[in-house]
Structure formats: structure tokens, C-alpha cells
Amino acid sequence: MTTETAPFQATETAPFRPIAADSQPANDTPSYGSTHLRHPTQPPLSIPQTVTETTGPRFSPAQFGPMADLSMVGGKQAQGERIIVRGRVVDENDRPIPHTMIEIWQANAGGRYDHPGDQHDAPLDPHFHGGGRVFSDADGWYQFTSIKPGAYPWRNHHNAWRPNHIHYSLFGTGFAQRVITQMYFPGDPLLALDPVYLSVPDQAARERLIAAFDIDITSPEWALGYRFDFVLRGRNATPTEQG
């Protein structure tokens, strides 16, 4: 037996690469007010990745049923601009991550969340809830239908508005791959003013949070299409690199 070990096995417990410099936001981001009392002041402890960090939970669509159409409730269409979001989940080695769960949540077209804590004076839409869940397919592709979320004010600073965005939560195949992020829309003038978006130091990393309009995903007479890919941390020892 030389390199004939099963690739799946070989990669499943290999440690993840270190996080690329400046690709992630710092929790100590003074321009985002809520961070002031919530960011740790002690430096994080670097620990070796053990089986606790290199493996992670698995979710099956049988147990956690997909909810891939956020654009209607009870068979009735939500208000707003219908969109399709499609993309791939891959790792840093550009390998697809198949059958992985993606959780989705967002505001309605008026910029209001269907949540008791959201007191923004914009109407709730009885035909929009804003929570969804999809799974990537065997090649890492995912897709869902929704409504373009509206911008909304928040009290971070005078006249503060969040850009249009959709929230996502992904698990990947290991605890250290866990990511919760937000997807933005191209051409949004609020991006340049948003402390959350601007918290990512590296400009290229930041801009990868912006979806691309895609005419091929756009469905004629039905919905505008956007492309958004997720990249999760890649494992260090891949079969090709062992050779």
C-alpha cells in the first residue's frame, strides 16, 4: 500500500491550514460599537488541531428538511424582487464540499426581520419569513430562491444603514471549518460606509463577500440570478501533496 489509501479517509482528519493573514475580521473592531464590551482582550491561545477540531457534525436532509424557497409562505408570493442565489461550496484546495448544510436568514424586501427584536418601522410581510436551509449537491453546488432583502437602519452611529445582505451559516466537514458570514449585492453604495463589511482587512477577501449578478442564473420572466461561492478552510495533507 503506497498512495492507494482512500482519499476521503486520508483527508478527513488532516489538520486545516492556518488562516490567511488579514482574511478574517478582528473581534476588536472599534467602529462597530457592539464589539466594545464583547471582544476578548487576552490573545487567543493557539492549540493543536486534534480530532475535536478536525472532525465535525454531519447533517442529513432526511433529518433537517431543506427549505429552498424563501420567496413564498403558504403558497402566496412575498413582496419584493425575486432572486435566485446559486453557487458552490469548496475548500481552499478547490475541492467541492458535497452534501453540506447551509443555513440562511435575511430581512424582507422592506428591510425588516420577522423577529420580535426587530423594531424597524418597516412593514412585516405575511408571506415572507426569511429563514431557509439547503444542502450542497454531490459537486458542491447549492441554490435557493428568495427576495432581495432591503437595507435597514441600525444605531451603530448617526444615520447608519446596513447594506442589503443575506446571512449564511456553514459547517463543512470539521469544527475548525465552521463559518457564519453575510453575502452582499454588487453596486451597493452602503458597503463603503458599513463597519461590518469593512471589518475584513484584506480588500480582496472583503470583495469576495459580494455576490455577482449572473444572467445565466437569471430565470426569464421569473427571477434575477446571483452567483455566490463559499470557500471553507482547506486541509493540509491532501493526497496529491503527499505524492
Partner 1 sequence: MLVATANQTIGPYWHLIEDPTWADLTRFGAEGEKIVLTGTLFDGGGNTVADAAVEIWQTSPESSDTFPGFGRCRTDGAGSFRFTTLKPGPVAGLGNAQQAPHVAVSIFARGLLKALTTRLYFQDEVLNETDPVLSLIDSETRRRTLIAQKVSADTWRLDIRLQGDNETVFMDI
| Residues 7-36, interacting with partner 1 (CB under 8 A) | 16, 19-20, 23-27, 29, 32-36
Which residue lies nearer to partner 1 by CB, 3 or 34? Answer: 34
Which residue lies nearer to partner 1 by CB, 49 or 218? Answer: 49
Catalytic annotation present for 168: no
Q: What is the dihedral of CA 193, 197, 201, 202, to 10 degrees?
A: -110
116: amino acid identity, one letter? P
Q: Interface residues for partner 1 in 34-93 (CB under 8 A)?
A: 34-42, 44-53, 55-58, 90-93
Please give the Cα distance from 105 to 73 (Å, whole number): 15
| Residue of the chain from 14, 80, 85, 133 that contacts partner 1 (CB under 8 A) | 133
Q: Interface residues for partner 1 in 86-115 (CB under 8 A)?
A: 90-94, 103-105, 107, 113-115
Asked whether 76 and 131 are in contact (CB, 8 A), the reply is no
Catalytic annotation present for 39: no
| Residue of the chain from 79, 143, 181, 218 that contacts partner 1 (CB under 8 A) | 181
Among 152, 168, 184, 197, the one annotated catalytic? 152
DSSP annotation of 242: H
**122-152 b/e (C-beta count within 10 Å ≥ 16 → b):** beebebbbbebbbbbeeebebebbbbbbbbb
Enumerate the active-site residues.
113, 152, 162, 165, 167
